[in-house]
Amino acid sequence: MPGAMQLSEAIARYLKQLSEVRLASEHTISNYRRDLTRFIEHSGDIAIEDVSRDHVQGWMVAGYGQGLSPVTLARRLSALRGLLDAALRAGWCKKNVASGIRPPKQPKRLPRTLPPEQTSQMMHATDSSAEARDLAIFAVMYGCGLRVSEAVGLNLQDVSLGAAELRVFGKGKKERVVPIPDGVISLIESYMEERDSSSPETALFLNLRGGRLTARSVQRMVKKRALETGADISVTPHRLRHSFATHLLAGGVDLRAIQELLGHSSLGTTERYTHLDMAKLTEVYDLAHPRARRKS
């Protein structure tokens, strides 16, 4: 159709809208860009008006044939639906042909956690050249339940040690205030004594060159720390966040309070930890209770 907008241009405009208007995270935009580029590779750079239901279903079937997981396929479909919704509102197409297509059923997965003794082990001293900083950021992620992106996104003005509070910007730049436990405060104070006060960088956590620490660097640091302290090397920053939530729930903290601390927009997301706690309780029961299992 003459004058119709091509897929590549529609995708570029949509990703710009996600970034500038909806304030989506860089991680989300990167995933959507990759997924929508894959759709162009499948369908060709056709006009967005010409995208059909057959194109979408064929793309999903091809992904299934490549062995992609249900999670990846569902994300792909979500990215395409979002694009076509935006295109429909902007008048670039007349119908969202992906709206009636269901994503593949996904298995329920409980978040993995670390037992408290493992997190304690990771606090043991290592030979890191930035030991005070590494301890502080590890403690902030586990002690305050922050995502790694939120931890590296902290600026100096977001930290109030006197009030024992952190101002955190989560997904969609949504702001929340998180309390800082006493032990975390002392580790931040120790780090601040070593932090380069002459650096013009506003970030709380600096790399060795004086710039903002990246999420990837923190992920590597956590793995290295686990290896050096003899802790579980499958640990990740997000697993620390899951552990924070699970340990609070086990300690009797209200689920609504945990939702606020984690910055979840939906209580349903937080309720995963209820299932996790019950799963652990059932495991302990099966191992310990004399009537839990039938005698062979």
pLDDT computed for residue 258 by the predictor = 78
Q: Where are the chain's structural domains?
A: 7-90, 116-236
Tokens 């902030």 label which residue?
140
From 33, 167, 238, 280, the catalytic residue: 238
CATH superfamily of 116-236: Intergrase catalytic core (1.10.443.10)
From 76, 147, 195, 242, the catalytic residue: 147
pLDDT computed for residue 269 by the predictor = 62
Distance CA 285, CA 183 (A): 33
Q: Give catalytic status of residue 264 as yes or no.
A: yes
Kindly give, in sequence order, each residue whose CB lies less than 8 Å from that of residue 68, ignoring residues fewer than 6 positions away. Answer: 76
pLDDT computed for residue 187 by the predictor = 94
pLDDT computed for residue 220 by the predictor = 93
Tokens of residue 295, six digits: 């005698």
From 42, 81, 112, 264, the catalytic residue: 264
From 225, 239, 241, 247, the catalytic residue: 241
pLDDT computed for residue 104 by the predictor = 78
Q: Give catalytic status of residue 224 as yes or no.
A: no
Tokens of residue 69, six digits: 């997981």
Q: Give catalytic status of residue 147 as yes or no.
A: yes
Note whether 98 and 80 are within 8 A (CB).
Answer: yes
Tell me which residue of 203, 208, 188 sits closest to 152, measured CA to CA. 203
Tell me which residue of 249, 238, 263, 262 sits closest to 109, measured CA to CA. 238
Q: Give catalytic status of residue 273 as yes or no.
A: yes
From 32, 142, 191, 273, the catalytic residue: 273
pLDDT computed for residue 58 by the predictor = 92
Written as one string, the DSSP assignment of the chain is -TTPPBHHHHHHHHHHHHHHTS---HHHHHHHHHHHHHHHHHH-S-BGGG--HHHHHHHHHHHHHTT--HHHHHHHHHHHHHHHHHHHHHTS-S--TTTTPPPPP----PPP---HHHHHHTTS----TTHHHHHHHHHHHHHH---HHHHHT-BGGGEETTTTEEEEE-GGG-EEEEE--HHHHHHHHHHHHHS-TT----BSSB-TTSSBPPHHHHHHHHHHHHHHHT--TT--HHHHHHHHHHHHHHTT--HHHHHHHHT-S-HHHHTHHHHHHHHHHHHHHHHH-TTSS---
pLDDT computed for residue 106 by the predictor = 67
From 171, 223, 224, 272, the catalytic residue: 171
Is the domain spanning 7-90 CATH 1.10.150.130? The answer is: yes
Distance CA 72, CA 92 (A): 27
Mean pLDDT for each 10-residue chunk of the chain (296 residues)? Answer: 79 92 84 95 94 93 89 91 94 91 72 78 89 94 90 95 91 85 92 89 92 93 92 87 80 76 70 54 46 43
Q: Give catalytic status of residue 171 as yes or no.
A: yes
